[in-house]
Amino acid sequence: MDEYTTLQVIWFILISVLWIGYFVLEGFDFGVGILMKLIGRNEPEKRAILHSIGPVWDGNEVWLLVAGGATFAAFPEWYATLFSGFYIALLVILVALIVRNVAFEFWGKGSTEAWRNRWEWGIAIGSLVPALLWGVAWANIIAGVPIDAEAEYTGTFFTLLNPYALLGGLATLSIFFAHGALFLELRTEGEIRERARSVAVRATIAAAAISAVFLAWTLAEQSPLDVGSAICAVLAVIGLLAAIFYARQSPGRAFGGTCAAIAFFFIALFIDLFPNTMVSSTSPDFDMTLNFSSSSDYTLTVMTVVAVLLVPVVLLYQGWTYWVFRRRLSAEDFGDVRTPLDLLDQRKKEVGDGPGPGPGTGRESSGP
């Protein structure tokens, strides 16, 4: 096994944190996008569902950009092999994200049902495809893919669609779906909240079952068993079970359960991957290690200084955004709202009528 430096380990951990942060935050965006057509019964309800993630979804996607950029800068060989070998899969994810983001913007631009229905399908498919394919991609990274001595991927797109990877895709899809349902329960009120609660309970049960099977399969392939990975896998399932228990009585705790489940789910995978960045199914001699994939210590040192200075600022800003838009929403808030400008005018009128409860409408979503 190649030796690795402290900075290489630090950046492997930081990149893991960035990917996990992306999946925790973007995960409920994916879930809400899939659920919009399932839960929304009319235009005001769908507007409420869309506005529940409207102020934050683009900020959540920044985590993906930073994770990809950090991977490129800290471990360029990892980035090169991953993005060239998984080119088609990542292109499909990118196209789906573009379609979803365009659909977010154009859904409210038209006045006909056909127009909105078309963009609703764009939101749903653009959310479902990445939720599935991210799981497929990371399952392949953990299990191993055909890589030769030159760190070149020698398989095809269909090589990635093996049973283990597809189960991993179903696991992430089911978790993100449940995560989104619990987020809607937390951020809305009225009939939307009741429907979201009903979906959340069943979705979380399914997510717990699928994730347990996938993680058990992952642990069964380890020789010897990695205790840290096993503990995190168990904690991921416990997080989903806790979400099931709290879904009807405390959506805040239930949502915290799925956040923890997603985090421990991917921590288990990253522990399994360490100290490699890519595993070769062709030969263990072709595994890509941290030392092989890494940039120079000077580059990693500069990156560390920049991260220490900028990351806290970004985290504070994003945390402030969630705090400002913490209020629950309902269909009644959007009866006469057709564009963001209409919503802004409505908020100004509410403030002008007297002191209100703060940004947004409805009650705070921090409690059950």
pLDDT at 364 over 70: no
Q: Which residues pair with 364 in a beta bridge?
A: 327
Pick 188 or 264 by higher pLDDT: 264
pLDDT at residue 366, rounded to an integer:
43
Q: pLDDT digits over 4-40, tens only? A: 889 999 999 999 999 999 999 999 999 999 999 899 8
Q: How far apart are CA 1 and CA 342, in angstroms?
A: 61
pLDDT at residue 42, rounded to an integer:
84
pLDDT at 337 over 70: no
Pick 88 or 109 by higher pLDDT: 88
pLDDT at 342 over 70: no
A 10 A CB-CB count for 70 gives 19
Report the candidate in 165, 133, 168, 161 with the shortest Cα–Cα distance to residue 26.
133
Give the helix/strand (H/E) hosting 288: strand 288-289
Q: pLDDT digits over 179-204, tens only? A: 999 999 988 888 888 999 999 999 99
**Rounded mean pLDDT of 335-343?**
52
Q: How far apart are CA 10 and CA 330, in angstroms?
A: 44
pLDDT at 340 over 70: no
Q: Which residues pair with 31 in a beta bridge?
A: none
pLDDT at 350 over 60: no
Q: Are the beta carbons of 6 and 303 closer than 8 angstroms? A: no
pLDDT at residue 332, rounded to an integer:
62
> How sure is the predictor about 109, in pLDDT bands with cuts at 50, 70 and 90?
confident
In 120-164, DSSP assigns E strands to: none
**Rounded mean pLDDT of 282-290?**
90
pLDDT at residue 54, rounded to an integer:
82
pLDDT at residue 334, rounded to an integer:
63
* Displacement of CA 186 from its chain's centroid (Å): 17
pLDDT at 152 over 70: yes
pLDDT at residue 107, rounded to an integer:
85
pLDDT at 171 over 50: yes
Q: How far apart are CA 112 and CA 114, in angstroms?
A: 5
Report the candidate in 99, 89, 251 with the shortest Cα–Cα distance to residue 178.
251
> How sure is the predictor about 248, in pLDDT bands with cuts at 50, 70 and 90?
confident
> How sure is the predictor about 92, in pLDDT bands with cuts at 50, 70 and 90?
very high
pLDDT at residue 136, rounded to an integer:
95
3-state DSSP of 233-283? HHHHHHHHHHHHHHCCCCHHHHHHHHHHHHHHHHHHHHHHHCCEEECECCC
- Cβ neighbors of 86 (< 8 A, separation 6 or more) are 137, 140, 153, 160
**Structure tokens that stand for 201 in this block:** 């309970």
**Rounded mean pLDDT of 53-67?**
88
